[in-house]
Amino acid sequence: MNLLITGGSGFLGSALALRFLEAGHRVALLLRPTSQLSRLRGREEAFALGRCDSDQDIQEFISSIKPDAIIHTACAYGRQGESLVTINDANLRFGLVILQAMLSVKKPFTFINTGTVLEANVSPYALTKHQFAQWGRFLTSQSAHQLRFVNVLLHHMYGPGDDPSKLTTHVLNTCHRNEPTLKLTAGEQKRDFIYIDDVVSAYSTLLEKRNNLSNTVDIEVGSGAAPSIREFVQTVHKLTASRTELQFGALPYRPNEPMHLQADISQINALGWQPKFNLELGLRRTLELEYNE
């Protein structure tokens, strides 16, 4: 199968790229000209790389690849001080350019989008993610069955090599280094933490079973459990035998903070998928691979 993955230099995109390559698919990666590919473990030459700097570049690359499916993981979270325009361009406009380019190829395809479980009012990231999903549904309705739009409502992913700006990675690094203190909120928020290998296997299931899905569908991907942030941090603290002082309550909750996010995984269970890692197993594996413990 011809696959196109966006965000192939990122945590999720690179993991998907390597897994699908190993499964025997022809994998193309749509990248920024400056993207660093260290997460691909020296296997860059096995992929068709499209370092695109313009809408025209994207159109030409997609026309040359003619993918059967696109897996869209590229995004901007806003954690690096990106402007609203940059976040909009990454999370909304970029995806629309890809969809428009693919629709002009006149070939049926599946678009697996990495969406969000956050409500639109939580952040510019969440708002733009919801807006793009709305566009995906609209274009599917107008495409005469050319497009199937699968919107993955992905919960709190973690694992070795993840972005250091994320809470999960920050907690792991701080505790592993035995830094003096770790300032936190009260930690009462409940989150569905899902290990990266389970995320990749979920995407593999969705790709394999795509013809069993409706033309537009939202599917939650998570572990199905929702421990609190406090439980997550305390588990990391225990597994690392850390001496870091955990300062719960030192930070306020952010505006519009959701207090309970837990995946309903019944839809993807019905496709034959089950998570293999509970929180402690996933954290042990992360520590083993990240820090060689």
H or E stretch covering 144: none
Helices 94-103 and 55-65 pack at an angle, to 10 degrees, of 40
Residue pair 189/229 in contact (Cβ under 8 Å)? The answer is yes
Q: How far is CA 136 from CA 48, 62, 112, 167, 199, in A?
A: 25, 18, 10, 29, 22
Q: How far apart are CA 235 and CA 54, in angstroms?
A: 45
Going by pLDDT thresholds of 50, 70 and 90, the confidence category of residue 293 is low
In 3-state terms, what secondary structure has residue 258? coil
Going by pLDDT thresholds of 50, 70 and 90, the confidence category of residue 80 is confident
| Percent of the chain whose predicted confidence (pLDDT) is above 90 | 96
Q: How far is CA 224 from CA 6, 148, 156, 212, in A?
A: 27, 26, 11, 22
Average pLDDT over residues 21-25: 96
Q: How far apart are CA 192 and CA 75, in angstroms?
A: 20
For residue 79, pLDDT over 90 is answered with no
Q: How far apart are CA 77 and CA 127, in angstroms?
A: 11
Q: Count CB-CB contacts under 10 A for residue 241.
A: 10
Q: Which residue in this structure is represented by tokens 């995906």? A: 136
Question: Which of 227, 211, 121, 216 has the alpha carbon at shortest distance from 171?
Answer: 227
Q: Model-level pTM?
A: 0.95
Q: Provide the pLDDT for residue 225.
A: 98
pLDDT digits (tens, 9 = 90+) for 93-133: 999 999 999 999 989 999 999 999 999 999 999 999 999 99
Q: 245-247 and 181-183: which strand pairing?
A: parallel
Domains of the chain from N-terminus onward: 1-154 (3.40.50.720)
